[in-house]
Structure 1
């Protein structure tokens, strides 16, 4: 059962129908050969015992039964094929949807610890392996095991001596397969890891192609990619070369059953303790049993590889989703109570206590790496605190359903990601059922309508993956239009203007001013002049809040904020000299 559960990535029920059809087909497939045995027996008796008449009635009945069952076999094979294929593709489709949905519900910390190539490989390659195992290997494997057992028991009633001789080589084959099982699994695991490393290197190569070209790291100079290719090649050869011969020997012992039947049958016939028709029956049935069994054994290494893929998928699906079933209330004040948080062993926030009032603009400032973005991610529940509690509307954030919480929040990131879709649809992500009029209204408020209508297809213009066909300022304004369209009461701004040129920064600032009207705003800013009018400024350093207050109060205090403000004021006058 564990094998079945693993190889189907936790969906063994999907294989019941295909397996039943495959077993039924294999059993029915033996009936025509039983008819052939009857025909041989009649002809044998006619010649051997020199009977005067040949019983044509029985011959025609046996022949008719053969024709009928060949038709039934065709229909069963067709039904079996459809059941297997539909089940395999349904399993793979359900599996991909299930993984994608599960990933969406996992903490961001888990996702950040995984390479995107690894997760992508799991959704596509691992599920494809499960699909192939479900359609090509598993039904044959189960059928190949059940049918010989039925044949062994059934044929034992005909002649137990030939029945045993038929399976004399079977135990040796099983011993060989069991003996190399762990060795094969280790090789399959290493091969799988080499394949994954190769995928990671390819993705890294493509993502960093600009740097690679700029520093002339193309070709053999980019040794990491070359090494990954060669490692995968070596592991592939090693797996085929070391494991393959053992399975060929196992197949040879399986097929030796036909030789044992022949030797035993001839010996028994010579001793007049076996008739030729019975001998012919065992030879015919033997050919139907050994070929499927041999085919199954040759695919066992592939099955082991598929099991590893299934285990990876099950491990991912067993990762705990973010908890919380409650709904947020209509209050939007946020409070940090002794909050401590770290990424694995690297502590980022230490005993944070602060309150963000509803309807106010609160800014979070501080040196790079001080924990500003982490505070924002905790509010959005991308992570949960290690210690302490964050309340949203006086309700523990961990008790709120993450999806219901995100209905209350709009976010604008510094690094904007646009999907490879139309500009209109990228804005519509803020509200799935938005009309074209609503999209354009949001775009006008975000100061991006004018440049959109100048594009070749306007709102129907396709943007490249990640928004690669647009400038940074254009992408930023589209993301703000998306947030305006969502119309959430709480807005989180993560350094939305820090990397823009002055012209784009002005347009984006106008768009942000539209976004923040009548809402609770929490913003991170490096440029302190953008938070001068904030109701409250939280100054954080080394994961601790060192100051709080408005601009005037913090300037008078002459603390860290005063120091950062003076540094930025000095840099505004900098210029390049010869």
Structure 2
């Protein structure tokens, strides 16, 4: 049962165990709801036989029954609600931990709004089902089975008059399960699409306003909302109609019980007391069955949410063993990689020697940035090997690998916190003085000291309050602060003016001494002195060597050098 609940609702071990406790206590609570009916039966028996029980007996029965129901309600409430909120916290933490272990390729295939929805909205829906639907569904079902057995033992025809309508209603509801799930899934997918559209409309306001796309965007969003409304209505009907019709069958239970009981009573097949008891039981059980059906509908509603979280949990993580990396040379051996079906790296082999500078050059789309991401294991390659310290990179724990690597990509990511804390990400235990020294080396002082609160200035979402060049320099400061033996640089000077580029180059020249460096740059002048230059074209290594060797051997390299000189000479 524990494994079933874990797999069915993506629960933790402790969460599944606690839900079982909630189901058991809920079953006892559901059975205890028959206590008022039993007291009524005792009273009726005395009334029919002409000898009512004493007042003391009634007081004891009522107070005792109320106490039992209160205790069971308290236990069930604690087992259900208190524990469920803790489990929801555990689900979110576990999901966040899982996401932390996934490769960057996973995030490139999923919209960020989808992942945010999974952590917040999906788990919130599951949390509601865990506290309101799932325990009650199973506990009421268990109570119904136990009570049905007793009702059959006491009187088979009357017992069947209650059980048969219930089974028919369940059968009807179950047969409509696939329709409910299908329509609910459509609504679930549409909600995701809407979230993506809204996020895009907010993030791309600059482009929308620049190209006067306000009206087109408004119509697109409005049409998406209108489609969502239609799909939502269909999903609601897909659930409401089966539940309503099943409820109608359940509500007929009382009439069936009275009809069967009347025939039995007329033929002396049952006493009046028993008939009254079954009528009361039918009324009480029908309410419980209606609850079961509503709970079942909610469980179907969260099916898409559970599967979404399950797909994340089942995604293979980047595994590896803990290792101390000493030799920082990086060797590509016949490496291939594809984004879905788009092959970007096709059998690439080259070596970035330890303590040397290796430059990757080539036309756009040749695989340079992808190779850099593979070298840092932000992506996992499909075939071949990337070896570091004599071991396949996939066999090294990412935590140990990332300790040795500093990365500066062209697309900088900053956090909505202070300048100081954004740089400190490079080494969280660094002192303020060390952070500021790294900022100085990256030429950040010039603009940081002009900010309203200096290094304590909040820079907005993804550094929105800074220019492109300023954001890039903060990213470089992070890498300087981390002080790793392996440095990966992707077009770091792309957003810098000539003066700042010279200063950054001076800082990097002192930073990269004695370190393993892989750099990408379209400014050919900046990589001419690299120890090794690798020319990547169409996902293949066309040639490798130093500047002079490539001028002699590589047509692509010569063309890039010639174009670079023409660009430098270009004027408006």
Which of the five TM-score ranges fits, normalised by the shorter chain? over 0.9
> TM-score, normalised to structure 1's length?
0.92
Q: Is 2:36 the partner of 1:32?
A: yes
Is the contact between residue 104 and residue 378 of structure 2 (CA under 8 Å) also seen in structure 1? yes
SS of 1:547 mapped into structure 2: strand
- State the number of aligned residues: 568
CA contact (8 A) 2:357 2:530 kept: yes
Q: 1:90 to 1:515 in 2, by over 3 A?
A: farther
Task: Return the offset for 1:429.
Answer: 1.6
**CA-CA distance at 1:392 after TM superposition:** 0.5
Deviations 1:135-168 (A, max 9, x none): 1111111122111111111233433332222223
SS in 1 for 2:336: strand
Residue aligned with 1:200, SS: helix
Secondary structure in 2 matching 1:540: strand
Do the aligned residues in 1 keep the contact of 2:443 with 2:500 (CA within 8 Å)?
no
Give 1:218 shift.
1.8
1:97 matched to 2:98? The reply is: no
- Counterpart position of 1:156: 152
The 2-side partners of 1:84 and 1:21 are apart by 9
From 491, 494, 504, the counterpart of 1:498: 494
Rounded to whole Å, the distance in 2 between the matches of 1:499 and 1:487 is: 23
Q: CA distance change for structure 1 residues 244 and 494 in 2, over 3 Å: closer, same or farther?
A: same
Distance 1:566 1:17, change over 3 A: same
Preserved contact between residue 251 and residue 298 of structure 1 (Cα < 8 Å) = no
> Greater CA deviation, 330-339 or 535-544?
535-544
> Aligned partners of 2:298 and 2:214: how far apart in 1?
35
Written as runs of structure 1 = structure 2, the 5 A alignment for 1:170-569 is 170-219=166-215, 222-555=218-551, 559-569=555-565
Q: Which moved more, 1:219-228 or 1:476-485?
A: 219-228
| Cα contact 1:36–1:62 (8 A) shared by 2 | no
C-alpha contact 1:87 1:134 (8 A) present in aligned 2: no
Q: Per the alignment, in what secondary structure is the counterpart of residue 316 of structure 2? A: coil
The residue aligned with 2:112 is 116
Counterpart secondary structure, 2:458:
coil
Contact 2:181 2:303 in 1 (8 A): no
Determine the C-alpha separation between the residues in 2 that align with 1:389 and 1:134. 45
CA contact (8 A) 2:367 2:539 kept: yes
User: Please, what is the CA RMSD of the aligned residues?
Assistant: 2.3
Find the residue that maps to 1:548 and give its secondary structure.
strand
Q: CA deviation at 1:511?
A: 4.1
Structure 1 residue matching 2:514: 3-state secondary structure: coil
Are 1:131 and 2:127 counterparts?
Answer: yes
CA contact (8 A) 2:166 2:289 kept: no
Alpha-carbon distance between aligned partners in 2 of 1:575 and 1:354, rounded to the nearest angstrom: 38
* Further displaced range: 551-560 or 129-138: 551-560
5+ residue gaps in structure 1? none
Compared CA separation, residues 246 and 396, structure 1 to 2 (3 A): closer
Q: Is the 8 A contact 2:165 2:250 kept in 1?
A: yes
Distance 1:220 1:378 in 2: 39
- How has the CA–CA distance of structure 1 residues 84 and 449 changed in structure 2, closer, same or farther, with 3 Å as cutoff? farther
For the 8 Å contact 1:141–1:296, the answer to whether it is kept is: yes
The Cα offsets for residues 392-441 of structure 1, whole Å up to 9 and x where unpaired, read as 12221121112211111010111110112222222222222233233223
Is this contact kept in 1: 2:265–2:272, CA < 8 A? yes
TM-score, normalised by the number of residues in structure 2: 0.93
Runs (5+) with no aligned partner, structure 2: none
Deviations 1:507-545 (A, max 9, x none): 443443453243221110111121233222222222222
Helix, strand or coil at the partner of 1:416 = coil
Question: Partners of 1:221 and 1:400 in 2: how far apart?
Answer: 46
Residue 572 of structure 1 is matched in structure 2 by 568
The separation in 1 between residues aligned to 2:553 and 2:236, in whole angstroms, is 72
Name the CA distance, whole Å, in 2 between partners of 1:242 and 1:131. Answer: 23
Greater Cα offset, 187-196 or 137-146:
187-196
